[in-house]
Structure 1
Amino acid sequence: MMWVSRYLLGAAIFLALLARPVMAEPVTVFAAASLKTALDDVAGNYDGKVILSYAGSSMLARQVQQGAPADVVFLANTDWMDVLESDGLIATDTRVDLLGNRLVLAGPVGAAPVEIGPQLDLAAMLGDGRLAMALVEAVPAGIYGKAALDSLGLWGAVEHSVAQVDNVRAALALVSLGQVPLGVVYATDALADSHVDALGVFPDSSHPPIRYPVAAVAGREQAATAFLDFLTGPDARTIFASHGFAVLGD
């Protein structure tokens, strides 16, 4: 009878293993730097391992072009996603414009609010200081920021006072640490840093719409599917909204 007991025990263990939930495959996500606080929160609520790599959207797109091992790419600009799509590097049917944002002038906590328009004397506000911005020719926040300042007639007065950095979170850090008096960042960035206030919001009409597209990298759909389903689902949408993003399609 000993062999019967061992057989039954082995069968019970085997059935228990079958009953255990299958963990989702680890997923590597290349994401725009401005997503960090919210996406860290989203990933922490996902039932699986997520490897997050943050940088400016232009850098991430180039890394995907060079064959970097990403499963999902989540950018802050539709133009860079268009580039990847035209190169055949994303699974087009998985692409979704998931989030929206606004552009703000960031300053130290307690600084006086301003109305951003053609009448704003931004150069006087800077004095001898610098205006922190992401790279204005490559990184979405910088591209949006330059477009906004240009359309309002403010760019010419401040362009030689701009401190350009690799991504919008680096621009935010310069303001947060008091190394510059002002910066152009997303509203969600200012909300994420307790040492920074949004002093004013740039008119939506002053720059192209800010959209965050997400997609699976071509050939990595199987690894990306579960996380993309979660990312576009109700729980993740609630988290993004709590961090100040506009959730598109709601």
Structure 2
Amino acid sequence: MPSFRSFGPAAATRLALIMACVMAATTVRAAADDITVFAAASLKTAMDTIAADWTAATGLTAAVSLGGSSELARQIQQGAPADVFVSANPEWMDLLEADGLVVSGSRFDLLGNRLVLIAHDRDAAPVDIAPGFDLAGLLGEDRLAMAMVDAVPAGIYGKAALTGLGVWDAVAPHVAQASNVRAALAYVAAGEAPFGIVYATDAVAEDRVSVVGTFPETSHPAIVYPAAALTTGDSSLAADFLTYLRGDAARDVFLQQGFTVLTSKTAGRN
């Protein structure tokens, strides 16, 4: 049974505090916000721009709550007031749909992404990511930052890729898990871990890291971001916002951030 290294003896306490803060921030809807969107942390840069553009175009405000898809899905299950959910993988949306929390017919696949290996050293040599590659040797006694490998989509995809390439068992003792993919990115950017596994779009958003390799798409399940309206919210406004996400303005933002856009204005249920 592999053990996972943390970022210090108080890591569990810090993680609990982070989760508590996320819960507090996402369970209270500000009166001035017209719509609340729960979105995967990897969407931060794009959603910040899209929310501002939505306000400029409609005069309505969108509060975007970001976090690991698993944590956001659990908050929705517990009654958090949200109108729209954009997950970083289908499974957490499947769970909410099974619970009757997704508006029928509103779900569609919005985006795709790639998985990359990043380094804190801007001059780090490229890594040939292939079956059996010696990632453990590259790490030495150092750590590999990843999102939580059994809960957060980026971590799940990363573990699947390393397993598919036959190197997971050797790398697992070096893995330091973060609460979400942007937290893993931050650890590498700050030099707390020399390497990490994140989405390609996360690497674009952080100039203190370099991409040293891209994981073969065949090494892990396809990275898909489904979006849907939630039965806990305002279905009319949610439908309008989802239409905006399928429009040209949002498409341009997603493409600039390196996402693959999987949908169009006429897209329906996936």
TM over 0.5: yes
Superposition map of 1:49-128 within 5 A: 49-108=61-120, 109-128=122-141
Counterpart of 2:244, as a letter, is: F
Runs of 4+ in 1 over 6 A off after TM superposition: none
Percent identity between the two aligned chains? 57
Map of 2:267 onto structure 1: none
Matched, 1:233 2:241: no
Counterpart of 1:225, as a letter, is: A
Post-superposition Cα deviations, 1:16-65, rounded to whole Å, max 9, x if no partner, equal: xxxxxxxx971100110000011111111113211011110000000000
Match of 2:158 among 127, 145, 155: 145
Unaligned runs of 5+ in 2: 1-31, 265-270
Aligned partners of 1:93, 1:119: CA distance in 2, in Å? 43
Unaligned runs of 5+ in 1: 1-23
Aligned partners of 1:25, 1:136: CA distance in 2, in Å? 33
Counterpart of 1:187, as a letter, is: A
Using structure 2 for the length normalisation, give the TM-score.
0.82
Q: Conserved in 1, the CA contact under 8 Å of 2:246 and 2:263? A: no
SS in 2 for 1:236: helix
Q: Which has the larger radius of gyration?
A: 1
Q: CA RMSD in A?
A: 1.3
Match of 2:44 among 36, 45, 52: 36
Q: 1:25 to 1:37 in 2, by over 3 A?
A: closer
Counterpart of 1:239, as a letter, is: V
Post-superposition Cα deviations, 1:127-149, rounded to whole Å, max 9, x if no partner, equal: 11100011111110000000000
Map of 1:245 onto structure 2: 259
Q: CA deviation at 1:218?
A: 1.1
Aligned partners of 2:204, 2:170: CA distance in 1, in Å? 27
- Equivalenced residues, count: 227
Q: CA deviation at 1:219?
A: 4.7
Aligned partners of 1:110, 1:68: CA distance in 2, in Å? 44
Post-superposition Cα deviations, 1:86-128, rounded to whole Å, max 9, x if no partner, equal: 1100113111110000000011222111110124211111111
Higher percent of residues as strand: 1
Aligned partners of 1:92, 1:196: CA distance in 2, in Å? 41
Q: Conserved in 1, the CA contact under 8 Å of 2:82 and 2:232? A: no
